[in-house]
Amino acid sequence: MSHRFVCIMGIVACSSLAVRADAAVVFSDNFDSASEGQQLTSRSPDVGASWGLINGTDANHIIQSAVNNGGKALQQTRGASGGAAVRGVADFSTGIATPNTVVTAKIDLNLAGNGGTASCDFGYQSSHDPYFFVHPDGTYRLTDGNGNFSNTGLTASTNGWDTLEWVLTYGADSGGQLPGTFSFFITTPSMARTEVASGLNDGLTDTGSILRLLPSNQTNNTAIYWDNAAISIAEIPEPTGFAFLVAAVPAMIRHRRKLA
Ligand SMILES: [Ca+2]
């Protein structure tokens, strides 16, 4: 192997290492460290800034172990006349909308056979947060960042844990805003992780907006359950070591032919 080839391989290896950072968790809560019966808003998430009340009362949001997807989970109860919603806010310094990143957000939902429905917003988008919701007919529906609705055609489990997951890609900054597109994945007790939507338009997000999740109970007189909420951010590799190799090897071969 020529000295020049070894040099090029060395550059490729370094370039790969430099751009492939692991995803950083900027918000997470599995609720397991809470005490039985504790109000959600009285504690901080495992990772991230805070849980805040959006709708209803603190007593509508209790951490318990009777229904859980590991350890403890959040019970969200909606009364006869009021909403129930909370907002989990990511870390203020790292959990922000950043150019050329992939943001993954996940949360587990259990309707616990109570006839309830639910929704959850994700992101921070100035005009319209993308969100999923369980329609009264039981199917998972999505909105994009422009408020356009789509039906995944999948029915929410009535008594079991479903995992809902956004994978959102932010592009380059343009005038202080980030264009984004996202895919949506659902896992149920009877279905492996499945992509049910892709290429949805997230609209424009102000660069530096703090990321958040907003789980909400949408049916009066029901209790629903949430567990394992998380948001992570990974940088998009650019250019990848492989792309560099594809570009570099033909040039190297041409160079060697000239020398021969
Ligand atoms: Ca848990």
CA distance 184 to 153: 13
Kind of pairing between the strands at 149-155 and 222-235: unpaired
User: What is the reported pLDDT for 29?
Assistant: 98
Q: How is the chain split into domains, by residue range?
A: 17-259
Pairing of strands 50-55, 24-29: unpaired
**pLDDT band at residue 251 under the 50/70/90 scheme:** low
Q: What percent of the chain has pLDDT over 70?
A: 82
Query: From ligand 1's centre to the CA of 93, what distance in Å?
Result: 26
Q: Which helix (H) or strand (E) holds 253?
A: helix 241-259
Residues with CB under 5 Å of ion ligand 1 are 30-32, 70-71, 227
Q: How many CA atoms lie within 13 A of 79 on its CB side?
A: 9
Q: How much distance in Å is there from the Cα of 106 to the middle of ligand 1? A: 13
> Which segment of 193-197, 204-208, 253-257 scores lowest on mean pLDDT?
253-257
d(CA 18, ligand 1 centre) in Å: 35
Task: Tell me the angle at which helices 241-259 and 3-19 cross, rounded to the nearest 10 degrees.
Answer: 170
Cα angle 223, 229, 230 (rounded to 5 degrees) comes to: 170
For the cut 50, the answer to whether the pLDDT of residue 145 exceeds it is yes
Candidates 65, 58, 7, 61; CA nearest to 33 is 65
Report the CATH number of the 17-259 domain. Answer: 2.60.120.260
Determine the distance separating the centroid of ligand 1 and the alpha carbon of 73, expressed in angstroms: 5
- For residue 187, which of 160, 212, 205, 210 has the smallest C-alpha distance? 160
**What distance in Å separates the CA atoms of residue 131 and residue 87, rounded to the nearest whole number?**
13
Q: Average pLDDT of 4-8?
A: 45
Rounded Cα distance, 169 and 235, in Å: 10
Q: What is the pLDDT of residues 70-121, one digit of tens each?
A: 999 999 999 998 899 999 999 999 999 999 999 999 999 999 998 899 999 9
CA of residue 21 relative to chain centroid, distance:
18
Query: Measured in angstroms, how far is the CA atom of residue 243 from the centroid of ligand 1?
Result: 41
Average pLDDT, the chain: 87
- Report pLDDT for 120: 93
Measured CA to CA, the distance from residue 238 to residue 234 in angstroms comes to: 12
Q: How far is the CA of 1 from the centre of ligand 1 (A)?
A: 54
Report the separation in Å between the CA atom of 153 and the middle of ligand 1, taken as the mean of its atom positions.
28
CA of 147 to the centre of ligand 1 (A): 31
Residues belonging to the chain: 260
- What is the tens place of the pLDDT at every residue in 36-52? 999 999 999 999 999 99
pLDDT digits (tens, 9 = 90+) for 167-191: 999 999 999 999 999 999 999 999 9
128-137, 219-228, 236-245: lowest mean pLDDT where? 236-245
Q: How far is the CA of 29 from the centre of ligand 1 (A)?
A: 8
Res 11 pLDDT > 50: no
More confident site: 28 or 9 = 28
Distance 190 CA to ligand 1 centre (A): 20
Q: Which residues contact 218 (CB under 8 A, 6 or more apart)?
A: 78, 116, 117, 118, 119, 133, 134
